[in-house]
Amino acid sequence: MIIETHVNEIGININELLVECEKLYSDKVIIKKKTATFTRENLNQYFIQLIEKLERKYNINKLNNFKLRAVRIEKNDLHKNNTTKLNNPHIDYNRNKKVMIYLNEVSDENGAFNIYDCDPDSYENFRNNLQLHENANYIKNLDKENFKSIIGEKGKMVIFDTNCPHFQGKFKNEKFIRFNIRIDWENSKWRYPKKLYWWKFLKDLENIILRCIKNFKLNKNN
């Protein structure tokens, strides 16, 4: 099930959110691929309250086996679009409940998000048997014309399951960007593909170590 709405439906002022996202994005020490990634521990009270409002409104909580995975603020553009494979229909290896909020107006000219509305469980067997090789998670039997293009003004919000095939639209030229915030929740019932479990474990361990090193350096400088 895909939900399309606006952040004002959960009592969030989009202009305030835009300011807070700009600050958080700019303060990130290392921005990899124009994306700044945060865990709950890295977030200030403003973003904690935003997450809690979303969790209450859409029942994304511990009772339903959900746990916050990450918050990502990103600026997509023509260059990034051309150097990634996100514009091919795919599902994610790590299944998540995801909220995406546009921080600027988005149309089919600046990378609108496209999604196929379906029963996400219908792709669970496919996902659980994915292997780690190029294009393994691509969905090749769906025409892009069957996908819904999510366009709208800043503040547009879409809630979806990443088991629904999706892709990023293209950009008209290098002047266009899509500025957005994405919030991901894992579910303990959604296991990482069996053949890739240890690969994910090592990647998670690497991220924990890097985060500890970063926090140690910050504390040392302070």
142-170 average pLDDT score:
96
Report the C-alpha gap between 146 and 61 in whole angstroms: 32
* Same domain as 176, residue 207: no
* Same domain as 206, residue 187: no
Q: How confident is the model at residue 130 (pLDDT cuts 50, 70, 90)?
A: confident
* Same domain as 208, residue 166: no
Q: How confident is the model at residue 218 (pLDDT cuts 50, 70, 90)?
A: low
DSSP bridge partners of 159: 3, 99
pLDDT of residue 131: 82
Q: 147: domain range?
A: 3-191
Dump the DSSP string for 128-172. HT--SSTTTTB--SS-GGGSEEE-BSTTEEEEEETTS-EEEPPBS
Instruction: Residue count of the chain, please give it.
Output: 222
* Same domain as 15, residue 74: yes
- The overall average pLDDT reported for the chain is 89
* Same domain as 207, residue 181: no
* Same domain as 217, residue 122: no
Report the C-alpha gap between 38 and 117 in whole angstroms: 28
* Same domain as 109, residue 92: yes
* Same domain as 47, residue 100: yes
CB-based contact 203:100 (threshold 8 Å): no
Report which listed range, 79-83, 90-94, 96-100, is most confident: 96-100
Q: With a cut of 70, say whether residue 198 has pLDDT above it.
A: no
207 vs 195 pLDDT, higher one: 207
* Same domain as 134, residue 47: yes
* Same domain as 103, residue 139: yes
* Same domain as 168, residue 203: no
Three-class SS of residue 182? strand
CATH number of the domain at 126, please. Answer: 2.60.120.620
CB-based contact 87:166 (threshold 8 Å): no
Q: With a cut of 60, say whether residue 138 has pLDDT above it.
A: yes
Q: With a cut of 70, say whether residue 203 has pLDDT above it.
A: no
191: number of Cβ within 10 Å:
14
Report the C-alpha gap between 105 and 90 in whole angstroms: 24
43-58 average pLDDT score:
96
* Same domain as 212, residue 183: no
Q: With a cut of 90, say whether residue 73 has pLDDT above it.
A: yes
Domains in the chain: how many in total?
A: 2
